[in-house]
Structure formats: structure tokens, C-alpha cells
Chains A and B, each alone.
Chain A
Amino acid sequence: MSVSGYHVTRTSRAAQAAAVLGAIALVILIAAPWWAGRADLRLIGELCLYLALASLWNLMAGYAGLVSVGQQAYVGFGGYMLFALTIFGGLNPIQAIVIAGVLGAAVSVPVAALIFRLRGAYFAIGTWVMAEVFRLSFAQVSALGGGSGTSLPTGIVRSLADGRSAREALAYWLALGMAVLVVAAVYLFLRSRKGLALTAIRDNELAAASLGIDIWKTKFLVYVVTSALTAMVGGLIFLQKLRISPDAAFSVNDWTAFVIFIVVIGGIGTIEGPIIGTLVFFALRETLADLGTIYLMILGLVAIVVMLKAPRGIWGLIRSRFDLELFPLGYRVRHKQQKGA
């Protein structure tokens, strides 16, 4: 059998089509402050931030095998750093958010050193304990409002931009930019050698280790980077909310339960999954949230059913049916005569 008639490529027709559609969608979204109403703009911004959180959680859990139910620690940490750095450090909000990311990375190092001693589900609960420690600690800081929290001073809010619509547009673009940044970063990381190592770890840790991949170091790196970016997203979230309190900042429901739901329904261990999951989640929320507790029970039930019947999520079903990959990560062997494929 001759090898010369074939070539190896990463892309496919579907991926190329998706790239074009994605670029068009992005342009439309960037222009949103001009065509969307205030409420819709907020909604899309919120959707972007949840997409970012979901993509990050998916990178940790779906690829590095680090299932955390404590990422709210960094969301809250980022939020509190935004408040602290702007109120006491005199930084402007954007600088504060970037520094919050750096500080998030720094604080995640000792956290990781401790909780990496636990495995599997015990690791998960360990992350929850850490989030509780963060919550209780910040509740002790009276300068930031203690247990009841504090609001972002109007002066700092005004420093973002002149006029309310300009501020809202800026906050929106920051959110959109964050989502694009995170998804792009995750995609590029997974395409790289380190990303390949991570995928190998996900598939079979023992085999990966025997190939010389440093499991611990790779997982540690993913944890630190994810936490840093999560902190930045947290800063953006509370920049939107303008008010922070320990319970809101470190809420398991808001920043972990919903995020996990998004990733599980959409498809864990894929880049497309969190995107689909976020859209489904918001569709459900807009239609069902009036039902309150029943809505949450439905979410929980859907997550359980998906995990038992379709563990690869919606995207997993689509992918196995149609062999689709919109974010090209794998390699394909194509016959040289196949045009455009």
C-alpha cells in the first residue's frame, strides 16, 4: 500500500465552515452595543462570562481530570481583588482585573500544594473546603464589608468610561473579549504539545506517565492557569454586579453548580461542549427560571439523566453520529485527490 497518495491534515470542511460562521458571529456580537437593548446586552455579556467559566472548568475536569466543586473560590477571590485594588490600591478596574488574575495564580499555588494530596472525589470535596475557607476569611475582612459585603464606589464605576451606555458597552466588550480569550487560549493550548500531553493524561494516566509525561506538573500548570483566568472572570462578574458579599462571591450554586450543568449537558472534554451547554442553559433559564426551585430540580434531573444516558453530552452525541470536529484538534489522513476535504 503506497503512502505517497495521502497527506495528513488537522482541518476539515466542517471546521473551515465553522470558522467562517464563527468569524461572522463574532463581528455581529462585537457590534451588539449598537443593535441590542440594555437588557439583551447584559444577557449576552452574562452568557459570555458563563461560557468562559464553563470552558475553564471543562479544561480542568474534562482534560486534566481535576474535578473541582470549588472554583467559586477564585470567582469570589477575583471579585474581592477588584474591589480591594480599586478602592484601596487606586488602580482602575481593568488594571485591577488583570492583577486579580496574577494574584489568583499566586494564591492557587499553595492551595494546589495542599489539595493535590487528595484524589478523585476527595479532591473535589477538598476544593469545596478551600472555597469555604476563602469565604469565611473574606467575611472576616471588615474593610471590605465583612459578612454583609460592600458596593463599588460610584467614582470607580465612573472611571470606566463617560456616560452609562459607554460604560455598559465597555463592560460588555470586556465580557465578550474574555470569552473569546478563554476559548482561544484553551483551543491553542490543546493544540500544543502540552495540550497533547493533557489529552494523553485524560485518556490514560498510567500510559501517559510511562511515556515520560510529568503528570503532576501538567495538572498543576492547568490548575494555576485556570484559577488565574477564573479570578479574572470573577473580577468582571462583580464589575457588572457593582456589589459584592461573601455569600454572593463564593456561591456554590451560581459559580459551580450551573457551570457543571453547562459542561455536562454540552459535552465534557470537548471545546464545543461548553458553548452548546451555555446556550442550552440560558435557553432553559429564560423559559423556566420563573419556576424557582422546580427549575433547579429540573436542572439537576437533566444533569443526572444526561450523565447516565449520554455521558458525552449533546456535543458528544453529535460528534459520534457525524464525526464532526469544529475546533480541529485531531489529525486526519486524507487522500491527496480529495478536494477541499
Chain B
Amino acid sequence: MDWVNAIVQGTLLGGLYALFAAGLSLIFGVMRLVNIAHGDLIVLAAYLGLTTTVALGIHPLVALLVVIPAMAGIGYVLQRAVLNQTLGDDILPPLLVTFGLSVIIQNALLEGFSADPQKMDAGALETASFGLGGLSLGVLPVLTFAVAVMVIAGLQWVFYHTALGRAFRATSDNQDIAQLMGLNKAHVFGLAMALSLAVVAIAGIFLGIRTSFDPSIGGGRLVFGFEAVIIGGLGNLWGTLAGGVILGVAQTVGAKIDPGWQLLAGHLVFLLILAVRPNGLFPRVDG
């Protein structure tokens, strides 16, 4: 039963990892950009959530109403002011610029909030649990997983059933011809980053409720998101959810064997999948 419990907890943890990964996957799909500062932006969102809950005295989930638009706005401005200039055939500029961004965000947070671990207070939500088939499930992990599913379903809907999604797909296919359709690619990329950071905002809030955070943990979140994307397969958001779940399960099972092995177990499963299935488990086959 203990092992089943570990697997269930790992699955639910996978929901959080899928939230980390979804924004990353979206941006790579639309503009072939990998944002090294992605994890630090998640942490930034957590700090924004913390500031909002403290300043306004509201529940962290209510703070989403503030943090999501704020992060989306930051994303739009960041893309149009800085990141659009890095796009092109050379992989170095976006990599190095987002790396510089990562350093700046981490140290800005350090300046503003110190290195002390922080946590958002979600009250009863954090400890509430319910029984299901002999297992005790926390409400928060289940909620996180449900939110991850909804976010991914939402993104899929945007991509395949809205004009904005058509704009994303067309611009990612062929930037020049997309412009002939009246699409301003600078604006389209800005919207894509805004959407990505809106998801990052959700990820950050749920991270901040679940565990304590400090300015330095961004890199680790990026790695988890990245591993979920690679395990699941590029270009497939539901695959990313599966990837997150596999990573989560690997970590909790590893922790069960030895608490110090949690992270290592996840990395080893990632490397194993990279070795035998380099394209991931559910890659999208491009037409």
C-alpha cells in the first residue's frame, strides 16, 4: 500500500511539474525559444503572490487574479522589448540573453527579499485531505493536478479552436507568410510569451503554497519542467503532462527507497528515457 501511495503522490506531483513545463513547451512550439529564465520567472510569480497576499490580506488562490495579469504583462513587455531581438537562426543570443535574465531575476529577488525561505499561507487547504480507497489524498495536490489538466486543456483549446491559436501555429510555421495574413509577428510572439507567463503565474502560486521557496530554486524548477517536456515528447502538451507524472513518480519512488535519492532518481529516469527514446514517449509527428 505504501508503494501505491508513493505512486499516487508522484502522479499528483506530476501535475505541478506539468504546470512548470507547459509554459516552456508553448514557447518552444511557437518561436523555438528555450527560456533559461523560465524557472526563475516561476519563482518571481511565487514572490509576487506572496507580496500580494500579504499586502491585500487575501488567500493565495485569490491572488491569482492579480498575479496572472501581472505576469502576462511582464511577459508581453519582456518579449517585445528584449527577446524578440534575439530570435533568428543563431541559438546563442536567446540562450545567453535568457541566461543573463536568470542571473538578474535571481539577484533582484535576493536583494528584495533576502535568501530566507518563504511560503504562502493557504490556510486549511494545505493540510486538508480526504480518503479514497484506503489512501489519504491531500486536497492541495489533487487540486494542483486538476488545475494542470485544465490549463493544458485550455491551452489546447486556444491553439486549435481560436484565431489566436491559428495565429500562433501559422507564425511558428512560416513567419514571412504569416505576416502576409496581417499578423504582426512581434505582437504575436508577445502574446505567446504573455500566455506562457500566465501559466507560469499559476505554477508559481501553486509552488508557493505547496513548499517553501527562495530566490535560488529557479534553476531546479526549469530542470523539472525541461525533463517533463523531453520525457513526454516535444510538441505535445498532453505528453508533457505524462512526462511530469513519470518524473513525479520516479522521484517519489526514489525517495521511498532513500530520501536522499529523490532528485537523482528523477534525473536517472530522464536519462534512461533519453537513451532509449530520444524523441520522448509521445512526440508529435510533424506533417
Contact = CB atoms under 8 A, between A and B. Distances in A.
Check whether chain A touches chain B (CB < 8 angstroms): yes
Interface of A: 61, 65, 67, 69, 114-115, 117-118, 120-122, 124-126, 128-129, 132-133, 136-137, 139-140, 252, 257, 260, 264, 268, 293-294, 296-297, 299-301, 303-304, 307-308, 311
A118 B222 contact: no
Contact of B96 (A114, A260, A294, A296): A260
Interface string B254-287: 0000001001100110110011001000000000
Contacts of A300: 100-104, 107
Contacts of A136: 263-264, 267
A297 B109 CA distance: 11
B263 A121 contact: no
B142 interface: no
Contacts of A252: 219
Contacts of A303: 96-97, 99-100, 103
Most chain A beta carbons < 10 A, residue from B93, B100, B104, B106: B100
Nearest to B264: A136
Contacts of A301: 100, 104
B201 to A, nearest CB: 22
B82 A304 contact: yes
Nearest to B270: A129
B99 A257 contact: yes
A114 B275 contact: yes
Given A304-B101, A308-B82, A297 B107 contact: yes
B100 A307 contact: yes
Nearest to A293: B107
B43 interface: no
A293 B110 contact: yes
A121 B34 contact: yes
B19 to A, nearest CB: 18
Contacts of A69: 36, 99
A297 B36 contact: no
B274 A304 contact: no
A182 to B, nearest CB: 21
Interface stretch (B68-76, B172-180, B181-189, B223-231): B223-231
Given A114-B275, A117-B274, A293-B107, A308 B99 contact: no
Contacts of B226: 122, 125, 129
A118, A125, A296, A307 — most chain B CB neighbours (10 Å): A125
Interface stretch (B55-63, B84-92, B126-134): B84-92
Nearest to A140: B260
30 contacts: A67-B95, A69-B99, A114-B274, A114-B275, A117-B278, A120-B34, A120-B91, A121-B36, A121-B94, A124-B34, A128-B223, A129-B227, A132-B223, A132-B263, A133-B267, A136-B264, A293-B110, A296-B103, A297-B107, A300-B102, A300-B103, A301-B100, A303-B96, A307-B92, A307-B93, A307-B97, A308-B82, A308-B93, A311-B92, A311-B93
Nearest to A295: B107
Contact of A133 (B97, B222, B264): B264
- Size class of the contact patch on chain B: 35 or more
Given A304-B100, A304-B101, 12 more contacts: A114-B271, A121-B95, A122-B226, A125-B226, A128-B219, A129-B226, A132-B267, A140-B264, A260-B96, A294-B107, A300-B100, A300-B104
B91 A67 contact: yes
Contacts of B107: 293-294, 296-297, 300
A299 B36 CA distance: 16
B92 A268 contact: yes
Interface centre among B104, B110, B263, B275 (most CB of A within 10 A): B104
B270 A260 contact: no
Count chain A CB atoms within 10 A of each CB in B82, B91, B268 and give the residue with the most. B91
A121 B223 CA distance: 12
A159 B282 CA distance: 57
A296 B107 CA distance: 7
A139 B274 CA distance: 24
Nearest to B223: A129
A308 B85 contact: yes
B155 to A, nearest CB: 20
Contacts of B267: 129, 132-133, 136
A126 B103 CA distance: 19
Contacts of A257: 99, 103
A152 B222 CA distance: 34
B97 A304 contact: yes
Given A297-B108, A300-B103, A307-B100, A122 B230 contact: yes
B97 A308 contact: yes
B111 interface: yes
A65 B90 CA distance: 10
Nearest to A128: B223
Interface in B138-153: none
Contacts of B260: 139-140
A115 to B, nearest CB: 8
Given A294-B111, A308-B85, A260 B223 contact: no
A303 B98 CA distance: 10
Contact of B91 (A121, A126, A140, A296): A121
Nearest to B260: A140
B230 A118 contact: yes
A217 to B, nearest CB: 19
Nearest to A137: B264
A303 B86 CA distance: 13
A269 B262 CA distance: 39
B223 A125 contact: yes
A56 to B, nearest CB: 17
Closest 8 CB pairs of A and B: A121-B34, A300-B103, A117-B278, A304-B100, A300-B104, A293-B107, A303-B100, A300-B100
